[in-house]
Amino acid sequence: MLALSGRTTTYSFSPVDEFVIGTTFRAPLVVRRSRDRHTLLPGQSCVWDPEHVHTGSAPAAGWSAQLVIVPACELVEALDDDVSLACRPGRITDGRSRGAVAALHRAVRSRDRLAIEVELTSVAHTMFSPCSRLRPTGPRAASERLLAARDLLVDRLAENVTLAELAAAAGMDRFHFSRQFKSSFGQPPHAYRLGLRLLAAQRALEHGSPVAEVAVTSGFFDQSHLHRHFQRRFGLSPARYAAAFARPAPAEDSR
């Protein structure tokens, strides 16, 4: 997948087995696909299928947009092969899709695989849900299934566990797992995992482990990745946090 953002006045796109999902800002955008003409107002989201070339222009001034280009196979996987992606070609979505599209854009830029899968699943079901068919979730209570998935996150905290693995542990499809996990734990799986990783990093720093080592063992890409999230969550760097728990050197005997 490819995340794009910027400002322009005109464009032309010839997709090849790719969907273009995005949100426009600042000015109206006029899109032409085959013989159809669509006008997107600032803040509206859209999804274009790969069936036609489409071009865009602004009647008055340049517009800004956030786009994610998604291979069709990724959407099929996100929907568990349970939807016809061609059911609503060129559909312009309602305003509630804006938040989902923005979250997907942030996830792609973050390089967090689980976050990308969660947000792509959310976008896919937002835009194609009338064509999907619900699947049974199995006989076990939802709380038990979700606890099994949470335990998997805890046991493999430093690994990049996929959404498919978590959903399988819960005995659900990915979309319903993501929704029920957030409903039960207050956060989507990737945000919940980030909290677990930061907690693990705190404990390791309190015990004097080097920051670079803590980053690896708690599941972050590198030291700068840990620093960014730690600073955002706690208001200070990992190094400063660790320094607060450092034991003072013993005084020398001057006798």
Res 132: pLDDT: 43
pLDDT higher at 59 or 209: 209
Mean pLDDT for all residues in the chain: 83
3-state secondary structure (DSSP) of residue 239:
helix
Res 90: pLDDT: 56
Res 43: pLDDT: 82
Res 93: pLDDT: 65
Q: Within 10 Å of residue 115's Cβ, how many Cβ atoms?
A: 23
Structure confidence at residue 167 as a pLDDT band (50, 70, 90): very high
Of 125, 114, 118, 91, nearest to 103 (Cα)? 118
d(CA 24, CA 93): 12
Q: pLDDT at residue 137 above 50? A: no
Helices (H), the chain: 72-78, 97-110, 113-128, 142-155, 163-170, 174-185, 189-206, 211-217, 223-234, 238-243
Choose the weakest-confidence range: 139-148, 156-165, 176-185, 196-205: 139-148
Q: pLDDT at residue 82 above 70? A: no
Res 165: pLDDT: 96
Cβ atoms of residues 163 and 174 within 8 Å: yes
Specify the pTM.
0.74
Domains of the chain, start order: 2-131 (2.60.120.280), 142-186 (1.10.10), 191-243 (1.10.10.60)
Q: pLDDT digits over 107-126, tens only?
A: 998 889 999 999 998 888 87
Q: pLDDT digits over 11-22, tens only?
A: 887 777 788 888
Phi, psi angles (nearest 5°) of residue 82: -120, 30
Cβ atoms of residues 116 and 3 within 8 Å: no
Structure confidence at residue 181 as a pLDDT band (50, 70, 90): very high
